[in-house]
Amino acid sequence: MQNNIVEFPRMKKAEEITEKLTTSLILEARKLGLNTDNQDFVYDMAWAMKFIKATVDNQCNIANDLCRLTRAQGLDES
């Protein structure tokens, strides 16, 4: 059986960066006294992770629906 797996280096790099940033944010939040085990924190962090991923994807020139949608709503206006 052949393994036809296509690697996407930019996507892999973006995933690694997103994971490192998210982990750092959670660790820092814990150091600052936030209860990172709290369900509200977990829910809120899910949103933060989406925006971190969108930011990293954008910086790595990877299409991201969240970036596209926020720009379509005019949120990037100066």
Residue 35 falls within a domain, yes or no? yes
Residue 4 falls within a domain, yes or no? no
Residue 3 falls within a domain, yes or no? no
Q: Give the tens place of pLDDT for each residue, 57-67.
A: 888 888 877 76
Q: Give the CA count within 13 Å in the CB-facing half-sphere of 75.
A: 8
Residue 50 falls within a domain, yes or no? yes
Domain holding 55, by residue range, is 9-72
Number of domains in the chain: 1
Q: Give the tens place of pLDDT for each residue, 36-74.
A: 999 999 999 999 999 899 889 888 888 877 766 666 566
Q: Measured between alpha carbons, how far is 47 from 9 in angstroms, rounded to an integer?
A: 25
